[in-house]
Amino acid sequence: MLTFNNIQNIKSSIHVPDYNPMDIRNGILHFGVGNFFRAHEAFYVEKTLKTNPNWGIVGVGLTSGDHSHKKAKMFKAQNCLYSLTECAPSGKRSVQIIAALRDYILAPADPEAVLQHLSNPEIRIVSMTITEGGYNINEVTGEFDLRSIAVQKDLNNPSNPETIFGYVVEGLRRRRDAGMKAFTIMSCDNLRHNGDVARKAFLGFAHARDPALAEWIAQNATFPNAMVDRITPTVTTDIARQLNSENGLNDDLPVVAEDFHQWVLEDSFVDGRPPLEQAGVQFVSNVTDYEHVKIRMLNASHIMLSFPAILMGYTLVDHAIGDPQLKKNIENFLTLDVIPTLTAPPGINLQDYMESVINRFSNPAMADQTLRIASDGNAKIQVFWTETVRHILINKTECSRIAFGMAAYLEMLRGVDMQGKTYQITEPSYSKDQDALIHSDDYAAALQLPAFDTWRDLDSSILDQKVIQLRKIIRSQGVVAALATLPI
């Protein structure tokens, strides 16, 4: 395993920290220490620590269970060090050791330790990667959902929280009562206006707990919006073994990512921040156009590709984009349905951006899994497709391509590909009743799923009929036959 004692002995081609990790002080607490965070936020912060050693990161895991405990033990055993392998489409690779993560706490095992960090003035930023669906926003009302069992438990027992909302609000309560500053709450999830969503979620919880506390948070904390971008596939046991073999390391927690990375961020921090601009972060006054381009082009086409690809038996994204019909559908979707409705931010050519998206999907070194991309499609469709669908419905333009994506999603949820092979898709937010809609023989039944709630105020009758038609074709004749019916 990697430790402070052995990282200086690894081969010279691997970049090791050019500072002493023992000298780093904590300034950020992060909820959700997954691969994306480790290859993105921690990667950027790493670049600043030599000259600004006060921004080390405390990682917090919120889930319990054997896997979570094992992960926590591995972080501790490795002094929270890990390797990041960056892979270019050309095959060129570079490897570095990341030491920005200076501690890891499994919250269910030691909730008070998390709260002590949150109420420590050293922590000036609380960041999170809790997935698109992790903000507990009611899909119908657009407000924070107080009906959640976990939320109710935290409201009834605020000093012993379980949710991120309970932890953050209790931490801020302690800071307020101690006469301390609030901290910046920074979302790093793929959401439109992710800072605004985070603000709605945390203030919604805080208001239900204590309106006066909610008002203090609203006046003293900040919630910057951000656009984040980097493809970071799942690292299986076999991939980890391969990475270690190639790199000459014995790393229990390796991460692999594409060589592309981007972070566009509003400069709204209540108590300072690392000099992230030195690491390549682009600070702007408004991220809206940047996030729309990324979410509606890259993320939207990622799921548009993966839903039908799974049905066709493709397990890897680069194999899927190598299919001529699937690639052409992505190009048509972006060129005809998305790009005409987008405003390009300064310095971005949308046609060039589309080509870069396809090039990134084609990177074989990622070995990115279609099932990973397709997981939690309920939340992703609402975030990635809504603006495009609403534009199509309002302007009564061609709906066949987005209907195909919806049909492929619904057929994919059934868990059987066109060759009869079964697979496991993750949709954490669906109930047993909703699962019954997925497996109903009534092709229209699944259109009631909440994935499509964000345009129910519009007349979608033509779109719905097209989805039903395409589902029938996919099920009886296959994905290729359905694609053949789409206009060019």
Q: Tens digits of per-residue pLDDT, 261-304?
A: 999 999 999 999 999 999 999 999 999 999 999 999 999 999 99
**At 297, which amino acid appears?**
M
Asked if residues 324 and 331 have their Cβ atoms less than 8 Å apart, the reply is: no
Cβ(320)–Cβ(370) below 8 Å:
yes
Q: What's the token pair of residue 350? A: 């949308």
In 198-267 the beta strands, taken as DSSP E runs, fall at: 226-229, 255-258, 262-266
Question: What does the DSSP 8-state code read for residue 345?
Answer: P
CA dihedral 409, 410, 413, 415 (to 10 degrees): -100
Q: Given this model, what pLDDT does residue 488 score? A: 78
pLDDT value at position 140? 79
Quote the radius of gyration of the chain (alpha carbons, Å). 23
Q: From 322, 334, 337, select the one nearest 370 (Cα to Cα).
A: 322
Alpha carbons 174 and 156: distance in angstroms, whole number: 17
pTM above 0.85, yes or no: yes
Contact partners, residue 147, CB within 8 Å, separation at least 6: none
Q: How confident is the model at residue 415 (pLDDT cuts 50, 70, 90)?
A: very high
Q: What is the mean pLDDT of residues 145-155?
A: 96
Q: How far apart are CA 306 and CA 479, in angstroms?
A: 12
Q: What is the pLDDT of residue 139?
A: 75
